Chain A
Amino acid sequence: MIVDIGLIALTIAFAFSLYATFTSVYGGWRGRPAWVESARNASLLVFLLLTVSVITVVYSLYTFDFSLAYVYDVSSRSMSPFLRVTALWGGQQGSVLFWAWLMAAFVGAVLVRKWERDRELMPYVIFVSMLTTTFFVGVVLFITNPFTRLWHVSGADELIQAIFQPANSMLYLAEDGNGLNPLLRHFGMIGHPPTTYLGFTGFVIPFAFAIAALITGKSRGDEWIRTTRRWTLVAWIFLSIGLILGGRWAYDVLGWGGFWGWDPIENAMLMPWLTGTAFLHSVMMTEKRGMMKKWNMVLIILTYSLSLFGTFITRTGVISSVHAFSKSALGPAFFAFIGFTFIGSVSLLYLRWDTLKSEHSLESFISRESAYVLQNMLFLAITFAVFWGTVFPLISELVTGTKITVGPPYFKSATGPLFLILVFLMGIAPLLAWRKQAVRALGKAIWIPFVFSLGIAAIAGYLHRMHPASIFGLWLVAFVLSSILAEFWKGIQARHATRGENPLTALMHLISRNHRRYGGYIIHLGVILIALGVIGDAYYKQETQGTVLAGESLSIGGYRLQFEGLRGYNGSDGREIVEAVTTLYQGNQLIRQIIPRRDYFTVQQQNATVPGVYSTPGMDFYVLLIGWDQGKSASFKIYINSLINWIWIGGLVMIFGTIIAAWSNPGQREATYVLKPEAVTPHLLPQES
Chain B
Amino acid sequence: MTELQKDESEFQKPKPSTHPKAGLILTFAIVLALLGLLAWGLKKAQAGPVEKGMAPGFTITGYDGKTITLSELRGKVVIINFWASWCPPCREEAAYLEQTWRKYDGKGVIFIGVDWVDTEKEALAYIKEFDITYINGPDIGTRIAQAYNIKGVPETFFVAKNGELRGVHIGPLKSPQLDDKIEELLSEQYP
Q: A353-B14, A365-B1, A398-B37 are in contact. Are A403 and B142 (CB under 8 A)?
A: yes
Which of A316, A327, A361 lies in contact with B12, CB distance below 8 A? A361
Which residues on B sit within 8 Å (CB–CB) of A295?
11
Of all chain B residues, the one with the shortest Cβ separation from A607 is B88
Of B16-24, B59-67, B73-81, the segment with at least 4 beta carbons within 8 Å of chain A is: B16-24
Q: Do B31 and A327 have beta carbons less than 8 Å apart? A: no
For B78-110 the 0/1 string (1 means CB < 8 A from A) is 000000001011011000000000000000000
Contact of A312 among B1, B38, B88, B142 (CB under 8 A): B38
With a cutoff of 8 Å between Cβ atoms, the chain B residues found around residue A418 in the complex are none
Distance between Cα atoms of A358 and B10 in the complex (Å): 11
Give chain A residues whose Cβ lies under 8 Å from the Cβ of B31: 342-343, 346
| Closest chain B residue to A317, Cβ basis | B45
Cβ distance B48 to chain A, nearest Cβ, rounded Å: 10
Whether A402 touches B12, Cβ cut-off 8 Å, given contacts A327-B45, A331-B42, A365-B1, is: no
Cα distance A295–B7 in the bound complex, in angstroms: 12
Number of interface residues of B (CB under 8 A): 41
Asked whether B27 is an interface residue with its Cβ less than 8 Å from the other chain, the reply is yes
- Cβ of B71 under 8 Å from chain A: no
CB distance from B31 to the nearest CB of A (A): 5
- Cβ B4 vs Cβ A394 within 8 A: no
Report if B41 contacts A (CB, 8 A): yes
Interface residues of A in 571-607 (CB under 8 A from B): 605-607
Q: Is A677 an interface residue (CB 8 A)?
A: no
Q: Give every chain B residue within 8 A of A327 (Cβ-Cβ).
A: 45, 151-152
- With A318-B42, A346-B31, A357-B12 as contacts: A362 and B19 at CB distance below 8 Å: no
A1 on the B face (CB < 8 A) = no
A403 and B146 alpha carbons, distance in the complex (Å): 8
Chain B residues closer than 8 Å to A316, beta-carbon distance: 42, 45
Query: Is A462 among interface residues, defined by CB-CB distance under 8 A?
Result: no
Q: Is B141 an interface residue (CB 8 A)?
A: yes
Query: Which of A362, A370, A398 counts the most chain B CB atoms within 10 A?
Result: A362
By a CB distance below 8 angstroms, the chain A residues around B86 are: 322
- Whether B37 contacts A335 by the Cβ 8 Å rule is no
Q: Is B42 in contact with A332, judged by CB distance below 8 angstroms?
A: yes
- Identify A313's interface contact among B38, B39, B88, CB under 8 A: B38
Residues on the B chain within 8 Å of A353, using CB: 14, 19-20
B187 CB-CB contact with A under 8 Å: no
With A318-B38, A320-B152, A322-B86 already in contact, the answer to whether A358 and B28 are too (CB < 8 A) is no
Name the contact of A391 in the complex, choosing from B8, B37, B142 (C-beta under 8 A).
B37
Task: Report yes or no: B37 in contact with A362, Cβ–Cβ below 8 A.
Answer: no
Scoring A residues 350 to 374 as 1 if CB is less than 8 Å from chain B, else 0, what string do you get? 1001100110011001000110011
Tell whether A239 is near chain B: CB-to-CB under 8 Å. Answer: no
Tell me the complex Cα distance, A492–B34, Å: 52
Taking A324-B152, A354-B16, A606-B88 as contacts, is the C-beta distance between A318 and B4 under 8 angstroms?
A: no
A338 proximal to B (CB < 8 A): yes
Within 8 Å CB of A339, what residues of B?
A: 35
Contacts of A395 in B (CB 8 A): 37
Q: Does B8 lie within 8 Å of A373, measured CB to CB?
A: yes
Q: Which partner residue on chain B sits nearest A331 by CB separation?
A: B42
Q: Is B143 an interface residue (CB 8 A)?
A: yes
- Count of chain A residues with Cβ under 8 Å from any Cβ of B? 46
Q: Which residues of A have CB within 8 Å of B145?
A: 403
Nearest CB of chain A from residue B149's CB, rounded to whole Å: 11
B189 CB, min distance to chain A CBs, angstroms? 28
A107 to B34, CA, bound (A): 29
For B8, list chain A residues within 8 Å (CB). 358, 361-362, 369-370, 373
Asked if A88 CB lies within 8 Å of chain B CBs, one says: no
Which of A324, A350, A404, A405 is within 8 Å of B24, CB to CB?
A350
Shortest distance between the CB of A15 and any CB in chain B (Å): 29
Which A residues, 358 to 400, have Cβ-Cβ distances below 8 Å to chain B? 358, 361-362, 365, 369-370, 373-374, 391, 394-395, 397-398
Complex Cα spacing A485 to B39, Å: 50
A342–B24 CB distance below 8 A: no
Shortest C-beta distance, A391 to chain B (Å), equals: 7
In Å, the complex CA distance between A191 and B154 comes to 30
Please determine whether B4 and A365 come into contact, CB atoms closer than 8 angstroms.
yes
- Partner of B4 from the list A291, A332, A358, A374 (CB cut-off 8 Å) is A374
Interface: A294 (CB within 8 A) = yes
A 5-31 binary contact with B (CB < 8 Å = 1; else 0): 000000000000000000000000000
Complex contact A354–B14 (CB within 8 A): yes
CB distance from B93 to the nearest CB of A (A): 10
Residues of A within 8 A of B45 (CB): 316-318, 327, 331
Closest to B8 in A: A362
The winner among B12, B31, B141, B143 for most chain A CB atoms within 10 A is: B12
Cβ of A319 < 8 Å from any Cβ of B? yes
Cβ of B9 < 8 Å from any Cβ of A? yes
**Known pairs A324-B152, A405-B117; A335 contacts B39 (CB<8 A):** yes
CB neighbours (8 Å) of B142 from chain A are: 402-403
* Distance in Å: Cβ of B77 to nearest Cβ of chain A: 23
* Closest chain B residue, CB of each to CB of A605: B92
Min CB gap B101→A, angstroms: 21
Assuming A313-B38, A362-B8, A398-B40, what are 9 further A-B pairs, CB within 8 angstroms?
A313-B41, A346-B31, A350-B24, A357-B13, A370-B8, A374-B4, A394-B40, A403-B142, A607-B91
23 contacts between A and B (CB under 8 A): A294-B11, A313-B38, A316-B42, A316-B45, A318-B41, A324-B89, A324-B152, A327-B45, A327-B152, A331-B46, A335-B35, A335-B39, A335-B42, A342-B35, A343-B35, A353-B19, A353-B20, A361-B8, A362-B5, A370-B4, A394-B41, A395-B37, A398-B40
Q: Which residues of A contact B (CB under 8 A)?
A: 291, 294-295, 312-313, 316-320, 322, 324, 327, 331-332, 335, 338-339, 342-343, 346, 350, 353-354, 357-358, 361-362, 365, 369-370, 373-374, 391, 394-395, 397-398, 401-405, 605-607
The 8 closest A-B pairs by CB, nearest first: A358-B12, A318-B41, A365-B1, A317-B45, A362-B8, A402-B141, A403-B142, A331-B42
